[in-house]
Amino acid sequence: MAGTKSTEALPALPSDITVEWLGSKLRHKVKSIENTHSIWGTASKLFYAITYEEDETDKNDDGEGRPTHICIKGVFDPKMIEAQPWTVSLAQREAEFFSKVAPQVRNMIFPKGWWSGMSEKQGIAIMNDLTKEGCSFAADVASYEVKKVMNGVEQLAALHAQYWGQSQEDHPWIWNNYDPALKFICTPWDDVVRQLGRPQLPEHLMNGKLCNEALNRYFAERNPRFRTLLHGDTHIGNIYFTAEGKIGFLDWSAFHFGSCFHDIVYHMTAMLSIEDRRSHEMEILDHYLDALHQMGGPKFDRNDPEVMIEYRRSFMTNVIWLVCPDGLQSKERVAMLCERAVATYEDHKVIEVILGQPEPTAAAPGA
């Protein structure tokens, strides 16, 4: 897939997407385009049907076919940029995924990309319209059976195994955009959780100082033994189901290096009812650890205390649902996932586990 860091001014509004611009990115002569529908959010998804010039061949110079239905993802809402300026960096990160990472990733399902690029003020990815492939998407409020989650963690295991032990030192351009964004969202904790209409939280999760301290320590003290490349945002809104019923992963705007269990517990919490998660999470964890090893990663066992401490600490990633800003997700989804997240905090004593660990001592000079 072609991809560039562009010096050109990329489309900032839907009206900027023209036949000429799209044809130059797909490297085919486009006769006309029709915006069939759009989905607005943190990043917007604009869907187009394409008609090509009749004398065009079915393949470009690289032998790639030409798509007839596409999704163009980027930040096309000036009001969103004004309210949440960090959304531009997420769009840029997803564009980088499709141009730099996706061509290397094996054994995962995600949309086919046709072109991606970024500029100072935009990030755009052109990918297949999955609905035309018979794919379906999760409802705002939904629960899924355990075998679906098993399929999801298998694919995450494949990604994790491929990049196991690597870090930003190996890929300097993959800077961690996730931690700063989540810290920014969590800073006004006390005000947010007391807003009218917010989900009710247990008393200890109403304490912004305590929760922010736990979040900061979670980020600072992740065990490097479990470090790998993460999808980073594996919740129910970022998956889809193929025509064969397999899970595919959407929205690669938050990939970064971190603890492998981040992806696993975040995915599990969002996909399962509280009852099913409580009944089957150890079974799912074992399945993930087995798949990780089978895919070429290390062999771990949950009898290893370090495995379980890191696993339990990683539920801190669910913190976003406690303070999710209005407009990023539907109120119905936030309410459901907040309830599920709170249950994980109670079941695994997440805050206590994080704050109860000895704080790392600073290394002596020259150590």
Same domain? 279 vs 327: yes
Give residue 364's pLDDT.
Answer: 39
Question: Of 175, 125, 153, 135, which is closest to residue 282 (Cα–Cα)?
Answer: 153
Any alpha helices (H) in the chain, and if so which ranges? Answer: 19-26, 78-83, 87-96, 146-162, 178-186, 189-193, 208-220, 260-271, 274-294, 305-313, 320-323, 331-348, 350-356
For the stretch 23-48, pLDDT in tens is 999 999 999 999 999 988 778 999 99
Same domain? 52 vs 149: no
Query: How many domains is the chain built from?
Result: 2
Question: Of 83, 84, 88, which is closest to residue 12 (Cα–Cα)?
Answer: 88
Give residue 363's pLDDT.
Answer: 41
364 assigned to some structural domain: no
Give residue 2's pLDDT.
Answer: 57
Same domain? 159 vs 54: no
Write the DSSP symbol of residue 63: S
Question: Residue 170, exposed/middle/buried by CB under 10 A (0-12, 13-18, 19+)?
Answer: exposed
What single letter denotes the amino acid at residue 36? T
Give residue 251's pLDDT.
Answer: 94
Alpha-carbon torsion (84, 90, 92, 98), positive or negative = negative
Q: Using CA atoms, how far apart are residues 186 and 258, in angstroms rounded to an integer?
A: 19
CA 138 to chain centre: 15
Same domain? 150 vs 80: no
Same domain? 200 vs 112: no
Same domain? 83 vs 227: no
Query: Residue 123, CB half-sphere, CA atoms under 13 Å: how many?
Result: 21
Q: At what angle do helices 305-313 and 260-271 cross, to 10 degrees?
A: 60
Dihedral class, residue 53 (left if φ above 0, else alpha if ψ from -120 to 50, else beta):
beta
Question: Of 214, 224, 219, 116, which is closest to residue 169 (Cα–Cα)?
Answer: 224
106 assigned to some structural domain: yes
Same domain? 126 vs 141: no
365 assigned to some structural domain: no
Identify the domain containing residue 229 by its residue range: 136-356
Same domain? 85 vs 172: no
Q: Which residue is it, tokens 């990918």?
A: 127
Q: At what angle do helices 331-348 and 274-294 cross, to 10 degrees?
A: 80
Give residue 7's pLDDT.
Answer: 63
27 assigned to some structural domain: yes
Q: Using CA atoms, how far apart are residues 180 and 178, in angstroms rounded to an integer?
A: 6
346 assigned to some structural domain: yes
For the stretch 218-271, pLDDT in tens is 999 999 999 999 999 999 999 999 999 999 999 999 999 999 999 999 999 999
Q: Using CA atoms, how far apart are residues 274 and 96, in angstroms rounded to an integer?
A: 35
What is the spatial order of strands in the sheet that 247-249 belongs to? Answer: 136-137, 239-241, 247-249
Same domain? 29 vs 107: yes
Same domain? 183 vs 74: no
Cut 0.95: pTM above it: no
In this prediction, the residues of the chain whose per-residue pLDDT falls under 70 are 1-7, 55-64, 361-367
361 assigned to some structural domain: no
Output the domain CATH number for residue 321.
Answer: 3.90.1200
The radius of gyration computed from the CA coordinates of the chain, to the nearest angstrom, equals 21
User: Contact at 8 Å (CB) between 214 and 355?
Assistant: yes
Give residue 325's pLDDT.
Answer: 86
